Structure 1
């Protein structure tokens, strides 16, 4: 009976501790919804539209409980799943994710203001959904006003003294890295070539193209590609984002000698990131071989030291010589040195007797 009562007490105590822990963890969990003000999504009738809100969480051990509602005058009516509306959640990083509201076949009745919520505490700004039946007004991406544009911060990262070398009539691709925070559009990257005091804008042609590639959520890389580079293309180039952010100059050198060809950037100083080498894959094998050689050398030295400490093992001849010396020493010790008699003296004594 005592054991049963003890078991029940321990069970209740564990349940109480678990509830207290969950309550404390719930109190430490902080969710924040990030939706830019005056966000507008536009779509054409009977097409699919996906709107979203970003949610950051800290100290949480559960996924966010996201709900969507549509604003009607002074209240927000909750939205439920249907044949035309679905919701979705996607983790972007460890502490950030994105909630989606998807209109599978949007209609004009779906136009209006929408809002996403996390639980009952965190609420985002309203998202304006506009539906049109005109082809030229269709814009499935969000439209951000000037106030949100001012919050967009973009920075260009190009190491100082970056040099690209290429051989004539070959392809060369130079690049600059752009980071962006608080932006809801792709960077507007342009390239120019420096002539003394001004930088002349470059346009697409048969020999020059530009490209953009997203590396992470907040970072991408802009490329300027020379399809068939010539000696006239040598010089200093610069990438720009809009009219505010400008990167350091990139030196392009063109040669017609085979031994000077180097399509990868050579950075002489102030290098933020080291360029990839064609022999980069060889270094792990060099490290492994060096480690094996070092281990073999240590084992050989250890073995020689052990053999030297033990000394040379005696042979059979050495053992026999050692035994003979021992017997000789024993025979010499039978008579003390002062009792040993000369043979001639012993004979003369006998005759006298």
Structure 2
């Protein structure tokens, strides 16, 4: 492809972006009493938000429903055609419905709206047709009208789709902020993501347990500690009394320092261990453990319950493998 054609492609792309941005810049001024009413309707609903649209509006509607659901407002998408063949039964009198149609004249909605009105289900319209049947039937109308689509033929929804997406995001985030939705709440609906791993996992969820926990008795020797260090590869050994309560720790570093001071492998561990030694509470969040490792410049620690008894062990690699970084 020659340079002239390449320059033309860049120009096409820039023209579209400039036109869509131009249309989108008009939206903030349109957030009026209708937007407030839409937010209040969503905040007041005791059921779910049902989002519906057809064609490109439907694709955007699925995203709006997903955004609402992930930010604390239970929502789902309902295809208009499927609604007319049974799915409308999913809508209850406790729900609220968001209908998306740029023209406001989708035929399916002409059949759905009377049923919703009979059920006294509030309707929010996202439309550019402010005098359309949809707008006239809605309890709140969110104006996404444009002067011109970015498509040169004025056929493919482009600027109108962008406006729909932006208006949906504005509604979802305004409601989220009004609810006081926090990171921890977001994490509960995203447990597999990195944020979920950081905010939901506790030390007890990611720690090593059973035979993977290095520990020895107070009466053991440094040689016993060395064997346990080698067996588990954690870099430390928890020293416990006869009741399995931690009284100290012994690390790779402690072993090197002991030998440099002419200590022996036959020394009793209780006489050379670090007391009381650092330990992590099992109830801490994993992200707190990671911060603690950084603050104390360590990479591993035994884990204790509320009474100080050994229940596990954790190192920084365990945290990283759990998606906590």
Q: TM-score, normalised by structure 1?
A: 0.21
Higher helix residue share: 2
Rg larger in 1 or in 2? 1
Q: TM-score, normalised by structure 2?
A: 0.23
